Amino acid sequence: MKQTIAFAITLFVFCGLTLVGLASVSIVATVNGDPITSYELEQRILLLKDATNIEINDQTEKRISDDALQMLIDDSLKQQVANNGSVGLKSAAIAKANELIDASFAAEGKTGAATLREIGIDPMTVQSRFVSDLIWSDHLQRIYSDKFAGIEGKIDAELARLKKNASKPQIKVSEIVLTPAPNRDLKQTLNLATQMVAAIRKGANFNAIAQQYSGAGSAKQGGRVGWLVANRLPPLFLDTLTAIANGETTDPIELDGAIYIFRKDGERKKGLADESQARIWLARALLPLPADATNADRLEAGARIERDTAAINSCDKLVELNTSYGSNADARLEEMVLADLAPQMQKLVSTLGDNQASEPIAFAEGIAIMMVCRRDKPQLNLPSREEVRRVQFNRLFGDLSERHMVRLRRSALIDMRN
Is residue 329 classed exposed, middle or buried when 0-12, 13-18 and 19+ CB atoms within 10 A define those classes?
A: middle
Cα 260 to Cα 60, 190, 316: the distances in Å are 19, 9, 56
Give yes or no for residue 310 having a pLDDT over 70. yes
Give yes or no for residue 17 having a pLDDT over 60. no
The pTM of the full predicted model, rounded to 2 decimals, is: 0.68
Q: How far apart are CA 186 and CA 180, in angstroms?
A: 5
Range of lowest pLDDT (86-95, 238-247, 347-356): 86-95
Flag whether 114 is in a domain. yes
Flag whether 387 is in a domain. no
CATH number for the domain harbouring residue 323? 3.10.50.40
- Across the beta sheet with 34-37, the strand order is 34-37, 27-31, 414-416
> Which residues are registered as beta bridge partners of 262?
175
- Angle of CA points 20, 22, 27, to nearest 5°: 100
Flag whether 381 is in a domain. no
pLDDT of residue 283: 94
Residues 47-102 have pLDDT tens digits of: 999 988 888 888 889 999 999 999 999 999 998 886 665 557 778 888 999 999 99
CATH number for the domain harbouring residue 11? 1.10.4030
Give yes or no for residue 205 having a pLDDT over 90. yes
Flag whether 153 is in a domain. no
Domain that holds residue 206: 167-273+394-410
Residues 360-392 have pLDDT tens digits of: 999 888 999 999 999 887 766 678 899 899 989
Flag whether 74 is in a domain. yes
Give yes or no for residue 256 having a pLDDT over 80. yes
Residues 115-153 have pLDDT tens digits of: 999 999 999 999 999 999 999 999 999 999 999 999 999
Average pLDDT over all residues of the chain: 87
- Across the beta sheet with 253-255, the strand order is 224-229, 170-178, 258-268, 253-255
Range of lowest pLDDT (194-203, 206-215, 338-347): 338-347
Clarify whether residues 285 and 184 are in a common domain: no
Clarify whether residues 7 and 127 are in a common domain: yes
Give mean pLDDT, residues 210-239.
Answer: 91
Clarify whether residues 249 and 356 are in a common domain: no
Give mean pLDDT, residues 164-168.
Answer: 81
Give mean pLDDT, residues 208-231.
Answer: 91
pLDDT of residue 270: 74
- Spatial neighbors of 289 by CB under 8 A, at least 6 apart, are 297, 298, 301, 365, 366, 367
**What one-character DSSP code corresponds to residue 341?**
S
Clarify whether residues 122 and 262 are in a common domain: no
Give yes or no for residue 9 having a pLDDT over 70. no
Give yes or no for residue 154 having a pLDDT over 60. yes
Domain count, the chain: 3
